[in-house]
Structure 1
Amino acid sequence: MPLASVVSDLTRKKAEAEILLSEIQKKEKGVGNALLCTVLKSSIVLVLYNTVESTMYSVLEILHEKCQAKHFNELSDCQKEIFALMHFGKNGSKRYKENIELTISGELKFPSFESYSDGEKIFSGNLDARRINKILAVYGVRYSVDKAYGRSFLEVKTLRNKLAHGECSFSMACRNKLVTDIESMSGHIFTGLNNIVMHLNGHIRAMA
């Protein structure tokens, strides 16, 4: 999946979120729509968090594909650590000799993101700006989500988890939030994600 498709996907999801926001604004002008509007606001929170996870999955998948095309000696130190963890750590400890020989011959490749994430819990309902920064650092990517957007990433993650774990109902999660609050949150999430994708695009190009 090229990064251009990730950008395209982000653009589409942003448009979908804006449609939802527009509908809420229309409904709020009517009488007796308070409950519906609150539920819709909570639904947007889920859309935003799912967008964060799906975007990060896609960009890391592309990064892994790029690394898979390289011999072990061509990988960065951080990438070599991931390689070693996958093939010589807990997942490959019973095949040391074979894996060493396959690494030397170049037959053993950098793991796909799918196989790597099966063994290592990269993320699952815990993605906020701080976690994203830590994940990128594991790959040797120097990047920090803009602090101006960090609060929105944290709030979306927190609200999503309350909804997912049944701690809060859809009618309660965003009852004290204005449409403008949700709009601001949405804008921060999509701008923040787009910035991450653009930075990773430069990082991946530099790997060539």
Structure 2
Amino acid sequence: MLNKQNTVAFSHDFSDLRERFEMQRDSIEKYFEFLNSIVTNVKTFKILKSTVFLLLYNLVESTVSNSLYLIHWSISEKNIRYDQLSHCLQKSYMEYFLKNQGFKNVNEIQKKKLIDFFDQYFRLEKHIVQFSYGNFVSISGNIDNKKVNEIGEIYGFKMDRGRREEELLFVKEMRNSLGHGNISFSECSKDIVIGELFRIKNEVVGYLECYLNTIENYINERRYLVCLDGE
């Protein structure tokens, strides 16, 4: 079953996910309006600018986390069987299952035998998949375009390659440097002008809007099913 500690108070409708994203995005826009109008000393302004990286990364991680929760809920709510999952999700689910059953240090020959056995067993028993995204994929503090692509390989979706991704990586790195105490808030943005922050914000928000469109199509078209995955 879905792990309650990883769930969010969703209405289980994609419109709720998009509404949450838009609320967080609008809060960031308000913060930028505040930055653009405030008159303060240089040190305080640097600290306020650095806070942007925390706000943007929180938007990134919450958007991805909430979207994965919705994917898992969609699968669990419909009582999807193992043999109905797309091929990439069957493979990912098998890895998840073996790990949770304690088969972590087996060699490749043993692993193949286990996979063959449980694959047949799940198909014969019409095994219903119930799995929490929190235990299925790790995302905390680690979301950039590379990670999104890795998640896409697990679930079977692809992002638009035309979307710029350097800013997403930069935001993650700045957030982690601040969070781990590797750099101070006053140092973090000392060489970044407000106009550059606006550009970074717009690129990250644009990337996430593209991501949400991808996930919406994935869920609505039920791309997690084997008969629709095109494999």
Paired residues, what number?
198
Gap runs ≥5 in structure 1: none
Match of 1:188 among 200, 203, 206: 203
Bigger mean CA offset, 74-83 vs 97-106: 97-106
* Counterpart position of 2:19: 8
Q: Secondary structure at the match of 2:159?
A: coil
* Counterpart position of 1:134: 150
Q: Secondary structure at the match of 1:90?
A: helix
Deviations 1:122-142 (A, max 9, x none): 222121112111211211112
1:50 aligns with 2:58: yes
Alpha-carbon separation, structure 2, partners of 1:182 and 1:92: 46
- Could you say which structure has the greater relative contact order, defined with CA pairs below 8 angstroms and 6 or more residues apart? 2
* Counterpart position of 1:153: 168
* Counterpart position of 1:111: 131
Measured after TM superposition, the shift of residue 110 of structure 1 is 3.7
Question: Any conservation in 2 of the 1:145–1:196 contact (CA below 8 Å)?
Answer: no
- Structure 2 residue identity aligned to 1:207: R
* Counterpart position of 2:226: none
Alpha-carbon separation, structure 2, partners of 1:41 and 1:160: 12
Show the 5 A alignment for 1:18-167: 18-27=29-38, 30=39, 32-68=40-76, 69=78, 70-87=80-97, 89-93=98-102, 104-117=124-137, 122-144=138-160, 146-148=162-164, 150-167=165-182
- Structure 1 residue identity aligned to 2:210: N
Q: Secondary structure at the match of 1:177?
A: coil
Alpha-carbon separation, structure 2, partners of 1:99 and 1:110: 16
Deviations 1:77-119 (A, max 9, x none): 01111221222x121257x7899756643354241213424xx
Measured after TM superposition, the shift of residue 145 of structure 1 is 5.3
Scaled by the length of structure 1, the TM-score of the pair is: 0.85
- Ranges of 4+ aligned residues in structure 1 off by more than 3 Å: 96-108, 144-147
Alpha-carbon separation, structure 1, partners of 2:75 and 2:123: 14
Question: Any conservation in 1 of the 2:68–2:133 contact (CA below 8 Å)?
Answer: yes
Identity of aligned residues (%): 21
Question: Any conservation in 2 of the 1:72–1:80 contact (CA below 8 Å)?
Answer: yes
Question: Any conservation in 1 of the 2:71–2:219 contact (CA below 8 Å)?
Answer: yes
Measured after TM superposition, the shift of residue 203 of structure 1 is 1.4
| Cα root mean square deviation, aligned | 2.2
Question: Any conservation in 1 of the 2:67–2:215 contact (CA below 8 Å)?
Answer: yes
Question: Any conservation in 1 of the 2:160–2:210 contact (CA below 8 Å)?
Answer: no
1:176 aligns with 2:191: yes
Question: Any conservation in 2 of the 1:145–1:192 contact (CA below 8 Å)?
Answer: no
Question: Any conservation in 2 of the 1:133–1:143 contact (CA below 8 Å)?
Answer: yes
Gap runs ≥5 in structure 2: 1-11, 104-113, 224-231
- Structure 2 residue identity aligned to 1:22: E
- Structure 1 residue identity aligned to 2:24: K
Measured after TM superposition, the shift of residue 158 of structure 1 is 0.9
- Structure 2 residue identity aligned to 1:134: E
Alpha-carbon separation, structure 1, partners of 2:144 and 2:132: 23
Alpha-carbon separation, structure 1, partners of 2:128 and 2:178: 42
Question: Any conservation in 2 of the 1:129–1:145 contact (CA below 8 Å)?
Answer: no
| Higher helix residue share | 1
Alpha-carbon separation, structure 2, partners of 1:105 and 1:142: 32
